[in-house]
Amino acid sequence: MPATRFTPLLLAPLALGAAPVLADDVNLYSYRQPELIAPLVEAFTKETGIDVNVAFLDQGMVERLKAEGARSPADLVLTVDIARLSAIVEAGVTQPIESTVLREKVPEAFHDPKGHWWGLTTRARIVYASKERVADGEVTTYEDLANPKWQGRICTRSGTHPYNIALTAAYLYHHDEAETKDWLTALKSNLARKPQGNDRAQVKAIWAGECDIAIGNTYYLGEMLADPTEREWAETVRPIFPTFKDGGAHVNISGIAMTKAAPHKENALKFVEFLVSPEAQQIYASANYEYPIVPGVEPAPLVKSWGDFTPDDVNLIDLAKLRPDALRLMEEVDFDG
């Protein structure tokens, strides 16, 4: 079986006006680390005989695609969070993916109406709670995080991080600006420390006794349980899936888009359609401790053990439109200050 290539070739500076293109391969720019998608692309190669060359780009993806323009070797872009997907589309470097397969399998809330991006997996932004210091039922909604009972007991990463901006945009979708600003102000007053670190750092802070609850994405629990150095942190918390009072739990996605330059459009489409097959959905979601985007495909046993929840039914396009206002409100309350 041809091996998946995580090649530096695609990252080499363009020279002589030509992009490095291999005959029938699919070239993927990925925000996600190669080892997280290796099983997925290897399964595709085994089934189709088409190789996938993966270039890992955790920064500057939009800038790179704009600089490469029509000469870009990239066929597809895989990234996480509606903010990053929207930024790629707004940069004018994508093209619609027209596919009956995708429209039949991916729920409307999780794809661009014009087909510029398609969700592949979902993750919820939840509350991690100390098993020892927080009783069942103490937190059931995102609105509960503003309750003064939590003063000095909450940890979170920067308010301006895309994950928290998306959550705030979702809050703004369910509330007006004044209510959202009040919520952010109250949440800030309940923090045990200034926003810092990543989501794992918040769980570590609960383990260390610095706070009792924290805001984080679901998949980090799986990652920490799989890491011998972090497992102890994860074992001190339990996941709680809060909802909005008039909605469900906030979810975000990982997703994929086709570049405007796509030199291997036909094979790229085959890869994208493969990604929503039951086999690929289980491989990808399991590798990342996420939830399959296609209804009816079961998550991994560990993820399923965290319990069922009701996702918010807001279309992510609507949240993307609210991001600028969410960021403005976050800055107005000086959340990180």
Query: For residue 129, is it within any domain?
Result: yes
pLDDT at 10 over 60: no
Q: Name the binding residues.
A: 219-220
Q: Is residue 4 part of a domain?
A: no
In the chain, count H helices and then E strands: 13, 10
DSSP 8-state assignment for residue 108: G
Q: Is residue 92 part of a domain?
A: yes
> The tokens of 227 are what?
């890491």
What digits encode the pLDDT tens for the residues 94-103?
A: 999 999 999 9
Residue numbers belonging to the annotated binding site for Fe cation: 219-220
* 8 three-state secondary structure: coil
Please tell me whether residues 70 and 96 are part of one structural domain. Answer: yes
Give 266-305 pLDDT, tens digit per residue.
Answer: 999 999 999 999 999 999 999 999 999 999 999 999 999 9
Query: Is the pLDDT reported for residue 7 higher than 60?
Result: no
Whether residue 128 contacts residue 223, with contact meaning beta carbons closer than 8 Å, is answered with no
User: Across residues 234-263, what is the average pLDDT?
Assistant: 98
Count up the domains in the chain and report the number.
2
If asked whether residues 193 and 233 sit together in one domain, one would say yes
Read off φ and ψ for residue 36, nearest 5 degrees. -80, -20
CA nearest to 72, candidates 86, 91, 58, 85: 91
Residue 34: its pLDDT value, please? 83
pLDDT of amino acid 36? 85
Query: Is residue 48 in some structural domain?
Result: yes
> Looking up tokens 């053990």, which residue turns up?
305
Whether 141 and 86 share a structural domain: no
DSSP state of 3: P
Residue 155 lies in a domain: yes
What is the mean pLDDT of the segment spanning 38-46?
Answer: 94
pLDDT over 80 at 14, yes or no: no
Q: What is the pLDDT of residue 222?
A: 98
Short-list 201, 198, 195, 190, CA closest to 237: 201
Which pTM value belongs to this model?
Answer: 0.91
Q: Do residues 163 and 81 lie in contact, with contact meaning Cβ atoms separated by under 8 Å?
A: yes
* Strand positions, DSSP E, 142-196: 154-155
Per-residue pLDDT at 15 exceeds 80: no
Q: Does position 22 have pLDDT exceeding 90, yes or no?
A: no
Task: Say whether both 259 and 246 belong to one domain.
Answer: no
Return the DSSP state at 302: H
Look over the chain and give the mean of its residue pLDDT values, rounded to a whole number. Answer: 93
